[in-house]
Amino acid sequence: MTFAFTLPTTSPVNFTTSFASSSAPSLPSAATTRRALLRDTLKRYKRLTPTEQYNNLPSLLSSISEYLPYLYTLDAYITSQDITPLIEFETEWRAVLSRRTVPTELPRIRRKGLDYEICFATTTLAYVHTLRARTFLASAIRAPPPTDNNATNTSVHLINQAKDQILTAASIFLYLQNRSTTKERDSSQTMPADVTTSIYNALWSLCLASATLLAVLKDDPYPSIVALQHDKNSKEWMYKAPTVPTRVRSLLLARLCMYSADMAGKAAAGVAAAPGSGAELKGYCDDMAKTAKAKACRFQGIDAEGQGKVGEAIGWVLAGKEVLGMVVSGDGDKGKLGRGIDMLKKAREERKMEKVPMEALLGPDAGKTEEAMVLNELERRWRRINDSVNFHNVPSTSSLLARLPTGRPMFPENQTWTPPKLSSSELSQLQTQAPNGGELDWIGADDSDDDIMPAPESSMPPGGFPRSQSTGYY
């Protein structure tokens, strides 16, 4: 339910060769030192295994958070003309969202101007917050079964933490989007897709879509019901019956899912509009839009089943499967062909789950496979009831899809991130200290492009819905 961004790496930079300040003489050298630490942390992170990367995110977040106040203070000093430019500043970053033209890793892209550095460094901060959300989701998967209120609250707390991380990333992308539209850029040089307005708008929309689905996840018992049915070691069914949403909650959750689908669709359009963007992120946005819309169909079906309209409930399930691109047969054979193909897909995915460690159980398709499993279980249950008791007609999926409700936002869309600045005491120290001069030569000593990601210890797909055989909210 969160995209697994690849973090960029960068070349060394010495701000003292490009900027000088009479009011804060140590600011360029201090910014250079903090940036060198961030660069080293990013390179070390990329060489780690996927499991080690999860554990290293707090350290990486700390390195970025320590560097950005110096960077934004330097930018503010340039704006106020308290810093004198010496030579034109240049920096290079690896563009991780750009289109791949060769199978090897994308090269670093060098551009002029401090704004290029600010955009990439701040974007990296948003990526880290998104990856932190994935760690909280993975922890929620590993949480013990909710045998008591404490276990249940643990899962909810972890999901809330993941949601907060995603909303923080959304506010950062919104800030970068606003900055890119107001900050004057050099029109003579083209920017990589990673730092374009279209990508920022797309990532902001994607984060809001992800946060909304996380909020829905807390009140959605059906993924955990399916997980229980496919977990051979679970005994939760003996002592705890799942809570099924009431009619009002089902309709509310359907509207939230439709909002998430709309935002994910906007994200896909934004990625497509960014020149040179890769297909991986767009495919993920498309998958999330389909997953969210299929969830809305399922909640509509739950509401219909609660009113005794089992035939309509089955129709909503079929509509959800149609949205996901699954095979849906005609009414004559009651979908046997479609269910047979779905069972093969489900068996294949379950075999994959058994081989993948818990740390890597985050699907690459934004939850499409898991939602398909839930829809299959509901269709099987409701068809059995309808074939033996109700004998209701199943309406066409086209007529039901036309009745989907409009989306409803859950979180404010105008919350923007505030760039950090150095405090008065920190600025006072920089104003009294002398610049380091040549003592920073060590920073550019190692400019090797050796930040190649090692072979993963297990499959680490680029984001998605957590896949687990454990219980809880999954």
Residue 388 pLDDT greater than 60, yes or no: yes
Task: Identify whether 449 is part of a domain.
Answer: no
pLDDT tens digit string along 199-239? Answer: 999 999 999 999 999 999 888 877 666 655 555 555 454 34
Residue 73 pLDDT greater than 90, yes or no: yes
* pLDDT for residue 146: 52
**What is the spatial distance between Cα 124 and Cα 8, in angstroms, rounded to a whole number?**
7
Task: Identify whether 356 is part of a domain.
Answer: yes
| Residue whose C-alpha is closest to residue 131's, from 45, 39, 218 | 45
How much of the chain exceeds pLDDT 70, in percent? Answer: 74
Mean pLDDT of the chain: 81
Q: Cite the beta strand spans of 215-267 per DSSP E.
A: none
User: Residue 171 is encoded by which pair of tokens?
Assistant: 């506010």
* pLDDT for residue 359: 39
Q: pLDDT tier at 287 (50, 70, 90 boundaries)?
A: very high
Burial call 417-433: b when 16+ CB within 10 Å, e when fewer: bebbbbeeebbeebeee
Residue 60 pLDDT greater than 90, yes or no: yes
Residue 339 pLDDT greater than 80, yes or no: no
- Among 67-76, 100-109, 247-256, 326-335, the least confident range: 326-335
* pLDDT for residue 233: 55
The domain of 143 spans 15-99+106-444
Q: Which residues pair with 277 in a beta bridge?
A: 98
pLDDT tens digit string along 305-333? Answer: 989 899 999 999 999 999 998 865 554 44
pLDDT tens digit string along 413-438? Answer: 999 999 999 998 888 888 776 666 44
Task: Identify whether 111 is part of a domain.
Answer: yes
**Residue 180, C-beta contacts closer than 8 angstroms, at least 6 positions apart:** 119, 195, 196, 197, 200
End-to-end, the C-alpha distance of the chain in Å comes to 12
Task: Identify whether 233 is part of a domain.
Answer: yes
pLDDT tens digit string along 390-418? Answer: 788 999 999 999 999 999 999 999 999 99
Q: Which residue has the higher pLDDT, 222 or 150?
A: 222
* pLDDT for residue 301: 94
* pLDDT for residue 346: 53
Q: Which residue has the higher pLDDT, 467 or 7?
A: 7
- Among 13-22, 292-301, 411-420, 458-467, the least confident range: 458-467
* pLDDT for residue 189: 82
Helix (H) or strand (E) run with residue 310 in it: helix 310-323
pTM, 2 dp: 0.85
* pLDDT for residue 38: 96
**What is the spatial distance between Cα 190 and Cα 350, in angstroms, rounded to a whole number?**
45
* Identity of the highest mean pLDDT range in 18-27, 108-117, 149-158: 108-117
Q: pLDDT tier at 356 (50, 70, 90 boundaries)?
A: very low
Rounded average pLDDT over 241-256:
78
Rounded to the nearest 5 percent, the helix, strand and coil shares of the chain are 60, 5, 35
Task: Identify whether 261 is part of a domain.
Answer: yes
Task: Identify whether 460 is part of a domain.
Answer: no
Rounded average pLDDT over 452-461:
46
**What is the spatial distance between Cα 200 and Cα 416, in angstroms, rounded to a whole number?**
13
According to DSSP, the β-strands at 108-112 and 90-94 are: antiparallel
The 8-class DSSP code of residue 5 comes to: P
- Among 51-55, 103-107, 204-208, 253-257, the least confident range: 103-107
Q: Which amino acid is at 134?
A: R
Task: Identify whether 472 is part of a domain.
Answer: no
Task: Identify whether 22 is part of a domain.
Answer: yes
- Among 36-40, 56-60, 118-122, 145-149, the least confident range: 145-149
Q: How many domains does the chain have?
A: 1
421: domain CATH number is: 1.25.40.280
Rounded average pLDDT over 41-53:
91
